[in-house]
Structure 1
Amino acid sequence: MTDASGTGWSDKADSPQPSAELIFHDAAGAASILAQVRNLPMPLPPDSSVCPDRAHHPYDRCTRRSLSGGSALVIDQGYVDPLAPGGIQQWTAELTTAAGHQTLIRELNASTAQATTATRPTPPLTPSQLTTAVLDKHWRPVLTALPTTATPPRVPSTGLLTKNQIVSTLRTMLPSTFHVSDLEGAEKGYVDLVIDDGHGPGLLTVTDQQWAPKDSKIAEVFKAAKQQADGGRLLTRQVPSPEGAGAVQWEADILYSNGHRLLVTELNSSAYGLTPTRPQPPLSLRQLTTIVRNSSWH
């Protein structure tokens, strides 16, 4: 083992979490291994222990397992660049306890995350060995020694639709013949899922936002929008997928005078960065527009 370094705890704002990193060497080659610990604020944030969203990490292999005592274990076999499956592999084990103690171990098949060439076929520890390491009892006194993270002040309700509200509303608008799978998203304001009409899957996303009325930034986005009878300003777009791979992205985007914005997008691939699964997305632009303008969202 060489090049060991670390960062201790600091009460300064935006300081990095306590961690230690080293370069591990064996017959297969060098590998960076990092361990990081932190105490999360309570109650635990909804996204404190989740697998990466498949829509943006299509090549990851991830599992989440609930353990006794309310702990959760996430094992993720992914990549430093989530859209480059031929790039540097990044495997992580993350343990989050019910008390908010979180331990992360991350390993690469290269000596640094900035490397462009792998130094070994895979990271040195198997998922089973990562699990054993992150569950080791020697982390407990380290975590106990860390100061408790202050609970952030309660944020006023944004009025954004919850994940369940978005999904239940969206299902009433999709054709009954569509198959829905890979449902993911945030607690509020965003959902992505895969829809399939029998001719190939496509990614569909719904984003719900609340802007300040007359906000200049969002007004600039909608300056060329068409005024609708219900007071909304509508934009439609047909553009290449922002992550390339030959896919296309269709969008219907509407903004109301009270600052409420709803954006529905779809791809002709099942995730960002993947090649097309069909010539066009499953829903027509007219159908997207009908969805985004539906009064059920209000």
Structure 2
Amino acid sequence: MSGTRKDRDPFETGLGDALRRTGETFSADGVPLVDGGVARGRRGVRRRRAAAVTGSVAALAVVGLGASYAAGAFGHEPGGAPVAARPAASGAAASSAASAAGTGPQLSARQVGAVLEGLLPKGKITERSARGTGDPGGPMAALVHDDGRGKAAISVGIGAVDPSGSEAEEQVACPDKVYVPYDSCRSEKLPDGSRLMVLRGYEYPDKRVDTKWWHAYLVTRDGYTVDASEWNAPAEKDAATTRDEPPLSAAQLKALVTSKAWRPVMEALEKAPREPVRQPPAQGQDGKAILRKLTALLPASVKVTARNGEEGFAYVVVDDGKGASLVQINVQPRMSDVESDLFGGADVLPDGMKVVSHQGPGEKGGEGVNMWTVDTLRTDGLRVVVSAFNSGAQNTKATREEPALTMAQLRSIATNPVWAGK
């Protein structure tokens, strides 16, 4: 599944609503499979990244002279050629693209850009780009800053979100390190009731290049968002690093997003609508129950070193003395509509359950990582997908020759009647 996607999984078509219910997909041997862990591990990170660009990003308004800023996240590649904006989960666009109809006066792109420039330390600024508060994409500013130690891309986007909704909660939560490697992450509630997350991570989860991505995300008590990103390169990607670290420290990122200078930009925006009340998960499909069942079905030869469970999904990292191995499971009701796409040529058990198995390389960039998967579909539409890896995380190098669980053990877990509540 979750990234951006330079690392986004290739299977994007053919399953329609079914895939939207799963959240994210990846493919093994050309067959799309569920990967809920990455969705949840990186969901907030991708949403925050998308917040600066959202939806369809047309040409950014250029503030001052020179070409529009060329980072991929800002809708353009070097030279100004437009590129597709990153996909954003539903709700992200609403939180970041709020525009007009606020209580305050509208601000131009130049005015929004000036706010960002006024909050940065002394340095040379080039390649400015910005959007005003009336822009359908929402207000944002981006530039390249050089404090004498190397050029660095910096961007800030302003939006609105339901402050009591799940979207806001997810945005300020640190991601799961099993799926998103980072050096540090802090989530806190500020004295004024705002919530803040500051993360110091990497542009690519597998760290294939040296580009670092540091990020701060603020949700104010009254439902406005400030989303800041910086890199140790003059562009988000496809640019050589110019310095060891981005220019702003974690404290400076916090000061940037919490500055009162953004208040006029916020007040020009319409407040976000309240999120609809989330329906409880189908009985027996909550993360804690899935994690409890998965743990009980593991072979006695493995020791669980990490675990987590969320709605419809759970994972464990196990070790049998030969190295860490990630095991994850998705449990999804009402998935009969994917049967023809995913279960052609499947084994059919006496009770009608269909079973397909796959073995192949991992798809999250980890060197030497292999993924073994058993995918099942019961006659009532319940889909259970279990995968194991020869690494403790998909985006780090292999820690062992094979996953800790055999294909037979994965099949035993996926076909167990416990998932149907029997």
> Normalization by structure 1: what TM-score?
0.87
Which residue of structure 2 aligns with residue 233 of structure 1?
354
What is the rounded CA distance, in whole Å, between the counterparts of 1:163 and 1:148 in structure 2?
Answer: 32
Which residue of structure 2 aligns with residue 273 of structure 1?
395
Could you give the per-residue CA deviations for residues 34-54 of structure 1, whole angstroms, max 9, x where no partner exists? 111211135321522222343
- Relative to structure 1, the CA distance from residue 207 to residue 98 in structure 2 (aligned partners, 3 Å threshold; closer, same or farther) is farther
Give the counterpart of 2:141 among 20, 29, 49. Answer: 20
Post-superposition offset of 1:10: 4.9
Post-superposition offset of 1:282: 1.2
Which residue of structure 2 aligns with residue 256 of structure 1?
378
Instruction: Verify: 1:220 aligned to 2:344, yes or no.
Output: no
Instruction: Verify: 1:3 aligned to 2:124, yes or no.
Output: no
Task: Specify the SS of the correspondent of 2:326.
Answer: strand
Give the counterpart of 2:320 among 191, 197, 202. Answer: 197
Give the counterpart of 1:179 among 290, 297, 303. Answer: 303
Which residue of structure 2 aligns with residue 111 of structure 1?
234
- Relative to structure 1, the CA distance from residue 281 to residue 10 in structure 2 (aligned partners, 3 Å threshold; closer, same or farther) is farther
Instruction: Verify: 1:73 aligned to 2:196, yes or no.
Output: yes
Which residue of structure 2 aligns with residue 129 of structure 1?
252
Instruction: Verify: 1:64 aligned to 2:186, yes or no.
Output: yes
Task: Specify the SS of the correspondent of 2:245.
Answer: coil
Which residue of structure 1 aligns with residue 292 of structure 2?
168
Post-superposition offset of 1:182: 4.1
Letter in 2 for 1:207: N
* Contact 1:37/1:143 (<8 A) preserved: yes
Instruction: Verify: 1:149 aligned to 2:272, yes or no.
Output: yes
Which residue of structure 1 aligns with residue 37 of structure 2?
none
Which residue of structure 1 aligns with residue 162 of structure 2?
41
My pick for the range that moved more, 199-208 or 114-123, is 114-123
Give the counterpart of 1:89 among 190, 208, 212. Answer: 212
Gap runs ≥5 in structure 2: 1-124
Letter in 2 for 1:266: A
* Contact 2:335/2:383 (<8 A) preserved: no
What is the rounded CA distance, in whole Å, between the counterparts of 1:84 and 1:207 in structure 2?
Answer: 27
Give the counterpart of 1:188 among 285, 298, 311. Answer: 311
What is the rounded CA distance, in whole Å, between the counterparts of 1:177 and 1:71 in structure 2?
Answer: 46
> Normalization by structure 2: what TM-score?
0.63
What is the rounded CA distance, in whole Å, between the counterparts of 2:384 and 2:134 in structure 1?
Answer: 40
Which residue of structure 2 aligns with residue 292 of structure 1?
414
* Contact 1:51/1:62 (<8 A) preserved: no
My pick for the range that moved more, 261-270 or 174-183, is 174-183
Which residue of structure 1 aligns with residue 364 of structure 2?
243
Task: Specify the SS of the correspondent of 1:28.
Answer: coil
Letter in 1 for 2:314: V
* Contact 1:88/1:115 (<8 A) preserved: no
Task: Specify the SS of the correspondent of 1:47.
Answer: helix
* Contact 2:133/2:265 (<8 A) preserved: no
* Contact 1:109/1:122 (<8 A) preserved: yes
- Relative to structure 1, the CA distance from residue 190 to residue 71 in structure 2 (aligned partners, 3 Å threshold; closer, same or farther) is farther
Post-superposition offset of 1:243: 3.1
- Relative to structure 1, the CA distance from residue 194 to residue 71 in structure 2 (aligned partners, 3 Å threshold; closer, same or farther) is farther
| Count of aligned residue pairs for this structure pair | 291
Post-superposition offset of 1:251: 0.8
- Relative to structure 1, the CA distance from residue 180 to residue 39 in structure 2 (aligned partners, 3 Å threshold; closer, same or farther) is farther
- Relative to structure 1, the CA distance from residue 9 to residue 296 in structure 2 (aligned partners, 3 Å threshold; closer, same or farther) is farther
- Relative to structure 1, the CA distance from residue 7 to residue 163 in structure 2 (aligned partners, 3 Å threshold; closer, same or farther) is farther
Post-superposition offset of 1:265: 0.5
1 or 2, which has the higher helix percentage?
2
- Relative to structure 1, the CA distance from residue 98 to residue 184 in structure 2 (aligned partners, 3 Å threshold; closer, same or farther) is farther
Gap runs ≥5 in structure 1: none
* Contact 1:44/1:100 (<8 A) preserved: no
My pick for the range that moved more, 126-135 or 288-297, is 126-135
What is the rounded CA distance, in whole Å, between the counterparts of 1:154 and 1:198 in structure 2?
Answer: 45
Letter in 1 for 2:131: T
* Contact 1:255/1:262 (<8 A) preserved: yes
* Contact 2:223/2:271 (<8 A) preserved: no
Which residue of structure 2 aligns with residue 207 of structure 1?
330
